Amino acid sequence: MNDEPDDRTSFADLGLRPELLRALSGLGYEEPTPIQREAIPPLSAGRDLLGQAATGTGKTAAFALPVLERMAGGERDRRAPFALVLVPTRELAVQVSEAVHRYGRELGARVLPIYGGQPIGRQLRVLEQGVDVVVATPGRAVDHLSRGTLKLEHLEVVVLDEADEMLDMGFAEDLDTILAETPADRQTVLFSATMPGRIDRLARTHLSDPVRITIGREQAEPGEAPRVRQSAYVVPRAHKPAALGRVLDVEAPTAAIVFCRTRDEVDQLTETLNGRGYRAESLHGGISQEQRDRVMTRLRNGTADLLVATDVAARGLDIEQLTHVVNYNVPSAPESYVHRIGRIGRAGREGVAITLAEPREHGMLKTIERVTKQRIHMEKVPTIADLRARKLELTRAALHESLLEDDLESFRVVVETLTDEFDVMEVALAAVKLAHEATGAAADEEEIPEYVPRSGPAGERRGREGGGERREPRRPRRPSAGMTRLFVGAGRSSGIRPQDLVGAIAGEARLNGRDIGAIEIADRFSLVEVPDSAAQQVIASLRGATIKGRKVTVRRERDDPR
C-alpha cells in the first residue's frame, strides 16, 4: 500500500511541550488534524491567523494548543488574563473552555467561561482570583468590561471563533468594543466557517499580516472517484451509537471499517456494537502488533465483521472484503474523507460510504461535497418500523432458502398433527414467528429525532424578516415542521431587532444560532421559531433574562397572540 498521505507530522513535530503532548495522548488523539498541522507552528511563533474551518476540523485545539504553549513559555503577570476567546454561544463557550482546560491541565491553566444567563457573581469571584484564558460570548464580555471586572490591557492573544456566526448574531459592535480594549500588539486569531466580505473587513481591521489557512480548498484528483454510494445521516451526538446500529442493521455489510477520532471512542463504540450483536474489533495506536495481526486475521476469515479504528491505526490496511466505510464523525478534512473511502469501490466493486454528522457539522459535509465534486445523499436514520420491516424481510429470505432446499420432510408430522386443530395458515404464522424470534434481533425502541436542515444562511433569512415596511407581521399559518413558535412580549417599539432575539436565545439557552428558525417582529411583540425539543428550555432560560435591558414575557404562541 503506498496511497497513504505523506504528511505524518506528529504533535511532537509541531514543537509542543511535553505537558501538552501528554494531555493529547491521554485524550486518545493520535495525530494532528490538517488544520492543526498548518495552524500550530505559525501561531506558536506569534503570527496572526485567518483560518477558514468549520466545526469538526479540530480548530479548537488548533488555536488552544499554541495559546497554552505561548503562555507557558513566557514571563507575565499572572493576575491578568493571557488570552480571550470570543465565541457566539454559551454552548460553545462551555465546550471551548472544557477543551482548553483539558489540554492545559498539566500546565495549571486557569480557564473561565463567561456567558449570559449564568449568575455574574461567580464569574466575578473567579475573575478576581486570576484567570489565564477567558472564553466569553461578546455580550457578556462587554458587560464585564463596562463594570471594570474584565481587564484586557495585558492580554496577549485574542481568538475570534466562529466569527461568521458572531456577525450573524449581531455582535459586530461588541467585537469592536472588546478589541478596542486590548493592546495593539496582541496576537489575533480569527476562525470562520465561511468567508463573506464582512469577515474580510473584520480581518483587515483587526489582524496584522495574518497567515491564511483554508481547510477544504484542494481539489480531489480527477478520475480518483471510486464507485461508491455515499450517504450521510445527521444525528445529535447522544443518539449516534443507536443510529449507527440501525444503519448497520439495514445495510448488513459483509465487512466494514468504522472510523473514530480517538482511542476512547474506538473502545466505547466497539463495546456498543458487540452489545448489539456485531462482531466488532478495535484497532488504534495503543494496540500491539500482535493483537493487530489477530484482528486482521479475524476480519479476513470472516470471524469479525466490523473493524472500529482510528486513521492512524488503519494506515496501510488493505482489506479485500471491505464493502462499507463508516465515518462515525465527519472527517477533519476532505482529503481524509477521500482517503478513507478510497478503500472501497476498487476494481469495479461497489462500495458504500456512510457518514454520521452532528447538526453542527452539516457545513463540513457541504465542504466535502464541494471539494470531491460528488453528491453525498442525506438519508433519514431508519425508524423502528423500517428496522422491523427489514428484519422480517431477512426472515422471509431465510424461509425462502429453506423451502428451496427440500429437506423439510422430517417436519411434516408436526404440521400434520397441528392441522387437526388449526388452519395451515395459522401453523405457518406460528412457525414464522418462532423463526423470526430465533434470529435474536434485539428490540430497539429508542426514538431518534429527525433532523431537518433548513436552507439558506440563517443570517440572510432573518435580515429580510426584520426589515420592511409592514407594521404587523404576516404570520404563516403554522410554524415549520419540527418547530415551535414562541411569543416574546417585546417588539419594534422597544427597539428589538432579530439579532437581539437570536443573541438572547443563543446566549441564554444552549442553542446554536443556526437552529433558530423564522423570526417576525411586530410593533409590540415578536414571534420566534425554535426546535420543538428546545422550546421548553428556551422559555425557562429566558425567564428572568433581559432583552435590550428589559424583562420580557416569553411563552408558547397561543392560537392568536393578539
Binding site for ligand AMP (CB under 6 A): 29, 32-33, 36, 55-61, 261-262
333/490 with CB nearer ligand AMP: 333
55/123 with CB nearer ligand AMP: 55
Contacts (Cβ under 8 Å, ≥6 apart) of 254: 305, 321, 323
Q: Considering the complex, what minimum distance in angstroms separates the CB of residue 22 from ligand AMP?
A: 14
28/342 with CB nearer ligand AMP: 28
Q: Considering the complex, what minimum distance in angstroms separates the CB of residue 98 from ligand AMP?
A: 10
33/327 with CB nearer ligand AMP: 33
Q: Considering the complex, what minimum distance in angstroms separates the CB of residue 31 from ligand AMP?
A: 6
Q: CA–CA separation, 26 vs 105, rounded Å?
A: 11
132/361 with CB nearer ligand AMP: 361
56/351 with CB nearer ligand AMP: 56
3-class state of residue 510 by DSSP: coil
CB 217 within 8 A of CB 78: no
61/304 with CB nearer ligand AMP: 61
DSSP 8-state code for residue 25: H
CB count, 10 Å around CB of 314?
21
CB 162 within 8 A of CB 193: yes
DSSP 8-state code for residue 221: P
3-class state of residue 285 by DSSP: coil
Q: Considering the complex, what minimum distance in angstroms separates the CB of residue 133 from ligand AMP?
A: 15
36/137 with CB nearer ligand AMP: 36
**Residue 108 phi, psi dihedral angles, 5° rounding:** 70, 30
32/351 with CB nearer ligand AMP: 32
HEC profile of 366-420: HHHHHHHCCCCEECCCCCHHHHHHHHHHHHHHHHHHHHHHCCCHHHHHHHHHHHC
Q: Considering the complex, what minimum distance in angstroms separates the CB of residue 223 from ligand AMP?
A: 30
DSSP 8-state code for residue 239: G
Q: Map grid coordinates 473567579 to a residue.
A: 126
Instruction: Measure the CA dihedral 548/175/157/130, to 10°.
Output: -20
H-helix or E-strand spanning residue 432: helix 424-438
Q: Considering the complex, what minimum distance in angstroms separates the CB of residue 262 from ligand AMP?
A: 5
CB 179 within 8 A of CB 508: no
Contacts (Cβ under 8 Å, ≥6 apart) of 494: 548, 550
Q: Considering the complex, what minimum distance in angstroms separates the CB of residue 284 from ligand AMP?
A: 11
88 grid coordinates = 457566539
Nearest in space to 528 (alpha carbons), one of 545, 544, 511, 548: 511
Q: Considering the complex, what minimum distance in angstroms separates the CB of residue 364 from ligand AMP?
A: 9
| Residue type for position 340 | R
264/386 with CB nearer ligand AMP: 264
Q: Is the dihedral of CA 550, 551, 555, 560 positive or negative?
A: negative
Q: Considering the complex, what minimum distance in angstroms separates the CB of residue 358 from ligand AMP?
A: 9
Q: Considering the complex, what minimum distance in angstroms separates the CB of residue 32 from ligand AMP?
A: 5
Q: Considering the complex, what minimum distance in angstroms separates the CB of residue 352 from ligand AMP?
A: 24
Q: Considering the complex, what minimum distance in angstroms separates the CB of residue 50 from ligand AMP?
A: 17
62/496 with CB nearer ligand AMP: 62
CA atoms within 13 A on the CB side of 272: 17
Q: How far is CA 247 from CA 127, 148, 240, 362, 514, in A?
A: 47, 53, 10, 19, 27
Helix axis angle, 498-508 relative to 90-103, nearest 10°?
40
Q: Considering the complex, what minimum distance in angstroms separates the CB of residue 537 from ligand AMP?
A: 22
Instruction: Measure the CA dihedral 35/41/46/48, to 10°.
Output: -30
29/115 with CB nearer ligand AMP: 29
Q: How far is CA 14 from CA 21, 38, 45, 146, 203, in A?
A: 10, 9, 11, 39, 26
| Residue type for position 459 | G
346/366 with CB nearer ligand AMP: 366
